[in-house]
Amino acid sequence: MKSQRIQIVDLFCGCSGMGLGARRAGLDVALSVDVDPVLTSSHGANFPGERLELCDVAQLTGSDLREKAQVTIDGIIGGPPCQGFSSIGRSDPDDPRRTLLKDFFRLVSECEPSFFVMENVKGLIAKKNISELENALDLVREKYHIVGPLLLDAKDYGAATSRPRVFVFGFVEALHAKTFSSVLLQKVTDPTSVRDAISDLLGAKSASQQCDSDFDLWQLSSEVNVSPYARRLRSSNNLTTGLTCVQHKDSIIRRFSSVAPGKVDKIGRHFRLSWSGQCPTLRAGTGPERGSYQSVRPLHPSLPRVINVREGARLQGFPDWFNFHRTSWHSFRMIGNSVSPIISEKIFEAIKESVTTAFEQISEIECRQFEPMVAGRQRMMESQQEL
């Protein structure tokens, strides 16, 4: 019988930035869940055949998740909506989305997976919000060894964007994961420059005539220097989407041309990227139900325009085959709401390594005390051999 790999459920998945990192680390996403049909609109194209459930997480029970996943759930991951905790937003204590944080941990408690990963904005650990996190964690403290909250920045794990986020990890006691923090620390690396992330996109040619899709299709040049970072994100055929640029008015072009790298346009508050630096956190903006406010995009390092969708995706760490939405507004909502797949992959590599190490160090009798991973021990060991 073909062995299975570690099975996880991705709550509040959005366009699946965190889930993509988990997949690239060798885990299987048995089920993705989100309430927003726009943010998940490309799921079928990016992950054909994989289960997506469009529903309100607050209405789900642990039994629902197990039934929909159709596998033994080894891990639950997710980033509950952050707007109610954001330091740059309203951070409204009455925002109903704040309660979804507790629903995440409620489902962890009901499903009893062997580990969990929760991500949110750093405003969650601010003095006015930290009690909500502590109260939510009370639902799982007796069953899990908690690691965090930790403030981790995507650039410290090789991304081309500075994106500090709060992460909380939990492991059943049999997988105490004593090695997890040290393994994760070993994943720290130098950040990627904007040049290494996007410079090879210059000179791309339109190839939309080659397909019937509504997406814009582009052929990247094979005659430019491609950094190791960009090479890993490029498609095998050098095709990609999302390179259509905003056509600015002449007056705006002149204004953008006067902004130096690392400086901010005084009128629109657009930050000009520097080729040698990193991109600041890309913001999501809001959906139509909350006013359809578009986020301010950074300016290209050398061209008098805002960055396009694929440039934003590269900076965030998405591969070129990954599709977003047919409109740039929704595409940037998807990117801005996502966890960088770069840091996500490093996190799940550390989880897989530390969990495997834990299984090698505990006895069979100890393993039998902790469900459900007793059933998963062999398949995790076998998955290591397959990768």
Which two three-digit tokens encode residue 164? 């500090």
Strand order, beta sheet including 115-120: 52-54, 28-34, 7-11, 75-78, 115-120, 164-172, 144-153
Do 155 and 261 share a domain, yes or no?
A: no
What's the rounded Cα separation, in Å, for the pair 39 and 325?
8
B/e letters for 277-289, b = 16+ CB within 10 Å, e = fewer, are bbbebbbbbebee
Do 158 and 271 share a domain, yes or no?
A: no
Q: Provide the residue range defining the domain that includes 266.
A: 194-336
Do 209 and 353 share a domain, yes or no?
A: no
Share of the chain above pLDDT 70, in %: 82
Do 321 and 252 share a domain, yes or no?
A: yes
Do 330 and 357 share a domain, yes or no?
A: no
Determine the pLDDT at residue 4: 57
User: What is the per-residue DSSP string for 233-262?
Assistant: HS-TT-EEE--PPP---HHHHHHHHTPPTT
Determine the pLDDT at residue 5: 82
Which two three-digit tokens encode residue 64? 């629902």
Do 358 and 287 share a domain, yes or no?
A: no
Q: Mean pLDDT across the stretch 75-90?
A: 69
What's the rounded Cα separation, in Å, for the pair 310 and 336?
13
Local confidence band at 210 (pLDDT 50, 70, 90 cut-offs): low
Local confidence band at 128 (pLDDT 50, 70, 90 cut-offs): confident
9 close to 31: Cβ distance less than 8 angstroms? yes
Do 322 and 369 share a domain, yes or no?
A: no
Local confidence band at 88 (pLDDT 50, 70, 90 cut-offs): low
In-domain check, residue 328: yes
239 close to 219: Cβ distance less than 8 angstroms? yes
Determine the pLDDT at residue 293: 54
Do 161 and 39 share a domain, yes or no?
A: yes
Local confidence band at 10 (pLDDT 50, 70, 90 cut-offs): very high
Q: Catalytic positions, please?
A: 82
In-domain check, residue 375: yes
Question: Domain total for the chain?
Answer: 2
The CATH number of whichever domain residue 17 belongs to comes to: 3.40.50.150
